Amino acid sequence: MLFNSLRFLIFFPVVICVCFLLPAKLRQSWLLAASYFFYMCWNAKYALLLFFVTAVTYAVGLLIDCTDRFSWSEKSVIHVKKLCAATGIVLAMGALFFFKYIGFVVDSMNKLLALAHVQLSIPTFDVLLPVGVSFYTFQAMGYVADVYRGQPAERNFVRYALFVSFFPQLVAGPIERSKDLLCQLKELGPPRLDRLQNGVLLMLWGYFLKVVLADRIAVVVDTVYANPAAYGGWYIVVATILFAFQIYGDFAGYSTIAMGAAEVLGVRLTDNFDAPYLSRSVGEFWRRWHVSLGSWFRDNLYIPLGGNRKGKGRRYLNLMVVFLASGLWHGADWSFVAWGGLNGLYQIAGALTKPLRRRAMNVLGLRRDSLGHKVLQTLITFALVDFAWIFFRAESLSAALFVIRSMFTVHNPWVLFDGSLYRLGLDQKNFQLMVLCILLLLAVDWRKRAGVCTRRVIAGQDALARWLVFAVSVNLILLLGRWGIGYDPASFIYFQF
């Protein structure tokens, strides 16, 4: 069930109304049932996988928690805890590996054997990827790690199952920290008008990002990337710049709708995006992009690997490991590994060249806090991040390399001026609207970076102004959005992860 489908627009109000009509003690059970229904709308069988991951990590959490009660030596307790945590993580990772990576691993091994002229073909598995599997397994593994680090285990199975399967963030995050979400699920209160208004505004912004912005950009990007041989040079430059905003609109759109839906239910989720394209370094970009995944990797991989506590060399290695893992998390293909690796390299190169860049600035007499320098840093960061997105968007590593070659070898700057861009699936009016929406997104992000929350500004207005904002927003999204008859509701890009 997609957030941008009619089914969800029926499902959600029904869930909300029933939830608040039920006695408080039944709300968690109702939301759990609704969440499983939500998930089963894609593939009912895979609810078993969701249940398996839930049951295993719940049991492991209890086991870890209860080891303290035994009168074992501290060393033994730590050993048992480690064993339990490892068991839980291996089982959850095993499920993730089987459904997401086994085809990739087997395929890669077959290619490697073929390169070595070994006549052996390992049979491949044709497994359908369960939607959102990376998100909920990571959330469940995060819980196991948290309990291992000393957080009390959740004893209420319904609440824990709801924590893993909470429908607003089940299939594409944010990946919530257990202590944040479990506490809120425990105290689901009565409906509050301010949270309802706040949640609805969030959802509207999310729908705008998805159906007005991202899905409109997708038309152009898909046209170019489907045939890079025909659309070389500046077509690819434009499409790649647009893809940066497509994936932002798509993923931030989903996350914002998720935040809004949860907010209506009285649950506050992590804000996954914090004006990422206004970042002035790749490192800053990754602190502002997919915040919940970044903090998961920081807490559960980077820091356990030693973080930046074991010297520069080890820090760079840890960084590369984290970014390669992040790339692999996004997709079982070498192109995602390359994407992650490139982002890791950017950061290592940035750190290595930092003294050089500082010296150059001093020699040239340039101020680091000048507007020009900030803008230049932002543009360079965007260019680097955007270039890496080519590996993310292309169908494969070889396709990405073809796109890059085509981008640099075809000379056609006139397509920017002769109206050719209006023949990529969007007519002139739609193209101009798309550009306008991108500017609006950047303006909102710019205000957000300056500490101004547009939503709070709206909430601070009088009732009539708020009602008008709501009515106009809904109507503009419905008028300008790419939805309805003749369109397939476009799936969110991050669902595949």
Partner 1 sequence: MKKAIKTTLSLLIPLALTLAMLLGLSLLTEQKDSRYEYGPFLAQEEDFDVLFFGTSHMIYGVYPMELWQDYGIVSYNLAGHGIHIPTVYWVMKNALRQTKPKLVVVDCYLLEKQTKMFNNFSQVHQSLDVFPLTLTKVRTAFDLLDDAAFDAEFAGGADRTRTELGLLWNFAQYHNRWTELGQDDFSPKYTVEKGAESFNVDVAVPRTSQPTDAVLEETTGMEYLRRIVEDCQREDIDVLLVYLPFPPGETERMEANTARMIAAEYGVDFIDYLDSDVVDLNTDCYDYWSHLNPSGARKVTDHLGQYIRERYNIPDRRGDASYAGWYDDYVAYTEYKLDLLEEQTMLKNYLVLLQDKHLSACLYLAQSDLWFGPYRALLANIGIDTAALPAQGPALVLVDRLAGSVSVLQPGQEVDSGFGAFSLSQVEDGTYSVRVNGIDVLLADTDAVAGIVAMSNTDRALSTAAQFSSGPDGESKMTE
Footprint on this chain of partner 1 (rule: CB under 8 A): 6, 193, 427, 429-430, 463, 466-468, 470-472, 474-475, 478-486
Question: Measured between alpha carbons, how far apart are the two ends of the chain, in Å?
Answer: 16
CB 454, CB 447: distance < 8 Å: yes
Please identify, using beta-carbon distances, which residue of 311 and 484 lies nearer to partner 1. Answer: 484
Please identify, using beta-carbon distances, which residue of 145 and 477 lies nearer to partner 1. Answer: 477
CB of 199 to partner 1, least distance (A): 13
CB of 490 to partner 1, least distance (A): 14
Please identify, using beta-carbon distances, which residue of 23 and 486 lies nearer to partner 1. Answer: 486
CB of 330 to partner 1, least distance (A): 32
Spell out the residues 6+ positions from residue 207 whose beta carbon is closer than 8 angstroms to its own: 3, 4, 253, 257, 477, 481
Please identify, using beta-carbon distances, which residue of 3 and 389 lies nearer to partner 1. Answer: 3
**DSSP result, 398-432:** HHHHHHHHHHHH---GGGGTSSGGGGSSS-HHHHH
Q: Which of 117, 290, 330, 373 is catalytic?
A: 330
From the list 479, 486, 494, the residue with the least C-alpha distance to 211 is 479
Please identify, using beta-carbon distances, which residue of 130 and 489 lies nearer to partner 1. Answer: 489
CB of 484 to partner 1, least distance (A): 4
CB of 325 to partner 1, least distance (A): 41
H or E stretch covering 459? helix 454-459
Please identify, using beta-carbon distances, which residue of 369 and 488 lies nearer to partner 1. Answer: 488
What crossing angle do the helices spanning 24-40 and 6-21 adopt, rounded to 10°? 160
CB of 486 to partner 1, least distance (A): 5
CA gyration radius for the chain? 24
Query: Exposure of 434 by Cβ count < 10 A (0-12 exposed, 13-18 middle, 19+ buried)?
Result: buried
**Helical H segments across 131-177, by residue range:** 133-148, 157-165
- DSSP label at residue 121: -
Separation CA 268–CA 388 (nearest Å)? 32
- DSSP label at residue 274: S
CB 282, CB 381: distance < 8 Å: yes
- Specify whether 373 is catalytic: no
Separation CA 244–CA 206 (nearest Å)? 17
Please identify, using beta-carbon distances, which residue of 227 and 475 lies nearer to partner 1. Answer: 475
**DSSP result, 238-260:** HHHHHHHHHHHHHHHHHHHHHHH
CB of 174 to partner 1, least distance (A): 28
Please identify, using beta-carbon distances, which residue of 191 and 233 lies nearer to partner 1. Answer: 191
Separation CA 93–CA 136 (nearest Å)? 11
From the list 1, 5, 16, the residue with the least C-alpha distance to 264 is 16
CB of 34 to partner 1, least distance (A): 22
CB 245, CB 427: distance < 8 Å: no
Separation CA 497–CA 491 (nearest Å)? 12
- Which residues are identified as catalytic? 330
